[in-house]
Amino acid sequence: MKLTPDVFITGRSFLEDEVKGKTVIVIDVLRAASTIITALQNGSKGIIAVEDMGTAGRIAQNLDSSSYLLCGEKDGEKIEDYHLGNSPVEYEESVVKGKTLIFSSTNGTPTLVRCSGAKEVIIGSFLNAKAVTDYLRTIDNEIIFVCSGWKSRLSFEDTLCAGYMLHQLVGTVLPVSSPDGACVAFALYQQFGSDITDSVKNSNHAERLRKLGFEQDIDYCCQTDVSDCIPVMEDGVIVRKV
């Protein structure tokens, strides 16, 4: 790693050209990234992230119906007639093993699609933060953390997670002249990182999920460094790197 990685604060805060040639880590703690990590860990064959339901339907038409599951949410709620929503605890081995998942979400999957021109796209959350940063330490390429956010607005939990990963990479002192996005995420982690679960529970999106009855997902997604699964996008399909 040559430079301090930058942090793009939402999935809409950059031009698609800006990620070209870079290694991008797309973060969506609540919940798309955490769900993708869980699905691959439990044996899903691969995940096709799409920006909308229309695209999901068109892809499904060309696949054998026993080979895929339609998955995702709109504004947090399961999409009507889809097999699965976006609760990571739904993605058990007995459900997803060997299946291709066509996955549409409000912020996470559109952000992934916007990053698809990068040299390498990795999916990260608190669950696999250590595995991701261990990998990033081994590469020379320029790194950008892209927080999915919520409808073009900053999400506390995504920025906190970017700050956590930066801490793992650079230690307790951020190099001078680091990009502003990195300074903000790093400072947020310094301020709120001592109790990740407690801090995330106070976030706007945790509040939204609680109202929808997904309290257990918040605890699940705040588990830190519990997965060694690194999802990576290859030719439009997200598969397990390790």
- Least spacing, CB of residue 137 vs ligand 3SL, in Å: 27
Of 6 and 28, nearer to ligand 3SL (C-beta) is 28
H or E stretch at 134: helix 129-136
The single residue listed with the structure tokens 């950059």 is 14
Interacting residue with ligand 3SL among 19, 32, 70, 147 (CB under 6 A):
32
- Across 95-121, b (16+ Cβ under 10 Å) vs e yields bbeebbbbbbbbbbbbbbbbbeebebb
Interface positions, 56-75, toward ligand 3SL (CB under 6 A): 73
- Least spacing, CB of residue 71 vs ligand 3SL, in Å: 11
- Least spacing, CB of residue 39 vs ligand 3SL, in Å: 13
Q: Are 188 and 163 in contact (CB under 8 A)?
A: yes
Pairing of strands 100-104, 68-74: parallel
> The tokens of 150 are what?
């919520």
Q: How far apart are CA 137 and CA 62, in angstroms?
A: 39
Cα–Cα–Cα angle for 194, 208, 127, rounded to 5 degrees: 45
Interacting residue with ligand 3SL among 9, 25, 30, 48 (CB under 6 A):
30
To 10 degrees, what angle do helices 204-211 and 156-170 make?
130
- Least spacing, CB of residue 47 vs ligand 3SL, in Å: 13
**Binding-residue pattern over the window 205 to 234 for ligand 3SL, x denoting contact by CB under 6 A:** ----x-------------------------
**Exposure of 62 by Cβ count < 10 A (0-12 exposed, 13-18 middle, 19+ buried)?**
exposed
**Binding-residue pattern over the window 81 to 120 for ligand 3SL, x denoting contact by CB under 6 A:** -----x------------------xxxx------------
Of 32 and 131, nearer to ligand 3SL (C-beta) is 32
Of 164 and 220, nearer to ligand 3SL (C-beta) is 220
Cα–Cα–Cα angle for 214, 217, 222, rounded to 5 degrees: 140
Interface positions, 148-207, toward ligand 3SL (CB under 6 A): 148
Number of residues engaging ligand 3SL in binding (CB under 6 A): 13
Residue 6 touches ligand 3SL, criterion: CB under 6 A = no
- Least spacing, CB of residue 100 vs ligand 3SL, in Å: 19
| C-alpha 27 chain-centroid distance | 3
For ligand 3SL, the binding residues (CB under 6 A) are 28, 30-32, 73, 76, 86, 105-108, 148, 209
